[in-house]
Structure 1
Amino acid sequence: MTDLLETPYLLRVARGEIVKRPPVWMMRQAGRYMKIYRDLRDKYPSFRERSENPDLAIEISLQPWRAFQPDGVIMFSDILTPLPGIGIPFDIIESRGPIIDPPIRTQEQVDRLTPFDPEASLPFIKTILKTLRQEVGNQSTVLGFVGSPWTLAAYAIEGKSSKDYKVIKQMAFSEPSVLHSFLSKLAEAIATYVRYQIDCGAQVVQLFDSWAGQLSPQDYDTFALPYQQQVVKAVKATHPDTPLILYISGSAGVLERMGQSGVDIVSVDWTVDMADARKRLGPTMKVQGNIDPGVLLGSHDFIKERILDTIRKAGQGGHILNLGHGVLVGTPEENVRHFFATAKQADQWLD
């Protein structure tokens, strides 16, 4: 067992240790709000090049680490990254987002999907994660991440981002056997990918089921929760000590169900009061979040007030401070710096 003094702060909390302040990181921590990232993006306009070229992905992952010293460093990647490894090509167009052509619409297409071998199809992931671990040492926790089955299926079936999820819901309600077959294959591949990330150096892994908040609770129980559970069960069978986080945008209606997924930590968005979230999830479930990203557009005093309010509502132990969604484009870097500095000194004002 690693000595606690050598265990990164966020990892200690994710494993259940009580500490003096919550660890802090941000979703979309690396990205367009930082000038240094925008300059690099201008030089390398392809998102896939930035996320799949190890040197670029490592540099981008470390940009906020060097600037703000968060307690968590998350690798720069995309939830769609593993899809080509099972036979689903995609592209990301800067102004339009992900494009999957042809989209998955038939059982025949599902049957043609190939077994996932991350070592062969994603060799850059090992380089990225191993290097991040070397770079940050024990000063920060390295996080990996994956998309959950429902959300990946939604992208693959819709063929792009969607506002109404009409195509996948039509499949869910008219050809459920096709969708269930696809979701199960995705869950198997994602579990393999999570285990691979852990083996490559990820100390915590976050599952993004970003679009599952668009499901009714009844349909969440049918099309999202069982496949989250399939992933978590498979990972815990081989890597029981690696904490897993689940994040869903717009999760107020399914919060308790998120807690049934088997993850160690539920990441709460800002539409739920943190004190209410803790009551709804129960005393044994750890939480992450849940400050509105728009707060970072406010004054420094306002940012501090919201940080302290969130920490108080979360109570002692089992809380990782984060936003309820990703950093907004246009957020002043100085406000992000203030957020981290304040969070790291929060125990001074909470006594």
Structure 2
Amino acid sequence: MKNDRLLRALLREPVDRTPIWLMRQAGRYLPEYRQTRARAGSFLDLCRNPALCVEVTLQPIARFGLDAAILFSDILTVPDAMGLGLYFAEGEGPKFERPLREEWEIRNLAVPDPEVELRYVLDAVREIKAALADEIPLIGFSGSPWTLACYMVEGGASSDYHTIKKMLYARPELLHRILVVNAEAVTQYLNAQIAAGADAVMLFDSWGGVLSERAFAEFSLAYLERICAGLTRTARGRRVPVIVFVKGGGLWLERIADCGADAVGLDWTIEIGRARQLVGDRVALQGNMDPAVLLATPEAVRREARAILAAYGEGTGHVFNLGHGISQHTPPEHVAVLVETVQQESAQYHPTTSP
């Protein structure tokens, strides 16, 4: 691979500069993405069209020269493949026609075959991988069992997670049933992405931070550990790194670092230098600029990027990223400033590695 900085940094191997990619780097802030989505007809139609997924996955690579591509898809494709009926309501985000409320529905929940119900995603992985031509790595991903369960039980996004938390405390055995199925589904799905060509995979636990510490350990972390233990870790002659991202998980960073992943993604609520002290050399760290910085001025973007690079300090094991996805209101030129700053100024933190 021509540029494998990301893979080497995730495995804490030497690099000549800090690699950078961005969560939601293909998205509505890019005018070219908006044009492609308009041609697709809807977000779901875009996700289900492998050729258009290739197009939007490559758009930020062509514009910014990032160190990795990430599959364009959605975390909710897995519960949709389970028959819950995913749709997107205008101005309200994702919703399910058939959320899991009845005990019989939960008992009947089954793991989908990724090569059948999710074939369109795997076709996109194969086509993106071919289009990249081994220039940079491709990251595959899935939602975590807990985060998927939140949508599956609530029926969509939630401000208080009232329904699923009621189930967690009143009927924990039902929630565990959902999580067991989700964990197996996610494991099979990510392994299928790896087989199709993904060079690294990432687990998004977007709602792990809404749990208490005990609940997080039982209903999220235990299933992240199960998935990490079941993933294919070698493909095409090299190790496949695994990244785990728990939004709001800074309080449990040391426990997350022991879940079996190669790297831990950080949101912006924990200082990356302190995070490095806490985890030592157990895992690489990915992050962790507040995405709102990109709404400010170019100088603010440069200042924050420099501060994060300096806080992490010398040595490998850092992948520069945001603490969550890019806002749709972000000026693309500010993203260009961020990428340029990291690419030009991070080499000083890798003094023992020649370009």
Give the structure-2-normalised TM-score. Answer: 0.93
Q: Hey, what's the Cα distance between the residues in 2 that align with 1:237 and 1:300? A: 39
Q: Aligned to 1:86, which of 82, 85, 89?
A: 82
Q: Which runs of 4+ in 1 moved over 4 A?
A: 236-240, 348-351
Residues 85 and 114, structure 1, Cα contact 8 Å, conserved in 2: no
Tell which deviates more after alignment, 178-187 or 91-100: 91-100
SS at match of 1:87: helix
- What is the CA distance between 1:100 and its match in structure 2? 1.1
Q: Aligned to 1:117, which of 106, 113, 126?
A: 113
Residues 153 and 183, structure 1, Cα contact 8 Å, conserved in 2: yes
Q: Aligned to 2:222, which of 219, 223, 226?
A: 226
Corresponding residue for residue 277 of structure 1? 275
- What is the CA distance between 1:43 and its match in structure 2? 3.1
- What is the CA distance between 1:158 and its match in structure 2? 0.3
Q: Hey, what's the Cα distance between the residues in 1 that align with 2:63 and 2:215? A: 42
SS at match of 1:119: coil
Corresponding residue for residue 48 of structure 2? 52
2:214 maps to 1:205: no
User: Relative to structure 1, is the Cα distance of residues 171 and 90 closer, same or farther in structure 2, using a 3 angstrom cutoff?
Assistant: same
1:141-152, aligned counterparts within 5 Å?
141-152=137-148
Q: Hey, what's the Cα distance between the residues in 2 that align with 1:189 and 1:219? A: 22
Residues 47 and 94, structure 1, Cα contact 8 Å, conserved in 2: no
Corresponding residue for residue 172 of structure 1? 168
SS at match of 1:120: coil
5+ residue gaps, structure 1, are none
Tell which deviates more after alignment, 123-132 or 182-191: 123-132
- What is the CA distance between 1:99 and its match in structure 2? 0.8
The residue identity in structure 2 corresponding to 1:170 is K
Corresponding residue for residue 299 of structure 1? 297
- What is the CA distance between 1:241 and its match in structure 2? 2.4
Q: Hey, what's the Cα distance between the residues in 2 that align with 1:183 and 1:273? A: 31
SS at match of 1:116: coil
Q: Hey, what's the Cα distance between the residues in 1 that align with 2:176 and 2:347? A: 51
Corresponding residue for residue 14 of structure 1? 10
Residues 267 and 324, structure 2, Cα contact 8 Å, conserved in 1: yes
CA deviation digits over 1:262-295, x for unaligned, max 9? 1110000001111111122222211000011111
Q: Hey, what's the Cα distance between the residues in 2 that align with 1:262 and 1:308? A: 30
1:1-351, aligned counterparts within 5 Å?
6=2, 8-236=4-232, 241-315=239-313, 316-347=315-346
- What is the CA distance between 1:237 and its match in structure 2? 7.0
Q: Hey, what's the Cα distance between the residues in 2 that align with 1:110 and 1:290? A: 37
Residues 3 and 67, structure 2, Cα contact 8 Å, conserved in 1: no
The residue identity in structure 1 corresponding to 2:169 is F
Q: Hey, what's the Cα distance between the residues in 2 that align with 1:348 and 1:84? A: 43
Q: Hey, what's the Cα distance between the residues in 2 that align with 1:194 and 1:347? A: 31
- What is the CA distance between 1:66 and its match in structure 2? 0.9
Residues 26 and 57, structure 2, Cα contact 8 Å, conserved in 1: yes
The residue identity in structure 2 corresponding to 1:264 is D
CA deviation digits over 1:289-330, x for unaligned, max 9? 001111112322222221122112223110100001111111
- What is the CA distance between 1:23 and its match in structure 2? 0.4
5+ residue gaps, structure 2, are none
Q: Hey, what's the Cα distance between the residues in 2 that align with 1:198 and 1:209? A: 20
User: Relative to structure 1, is the Cα distance of residues 76 and 124 closer, same or farther in structure 2, using a 3 angstrom cutoff?
Assistant: same
User: How many corresponding residue pairs?
Assistant: 347
Q: Hey, what's the Cα distance between the residues in 2 that align with 1:188 and 1:199? A: 16
Give the structure-1-normalised TM-score. Answer: 0.94
Residues 265 and 287, structure 2, Cα contact 8 Å, conserved in 1: yes
SS at match of 1:192: helix
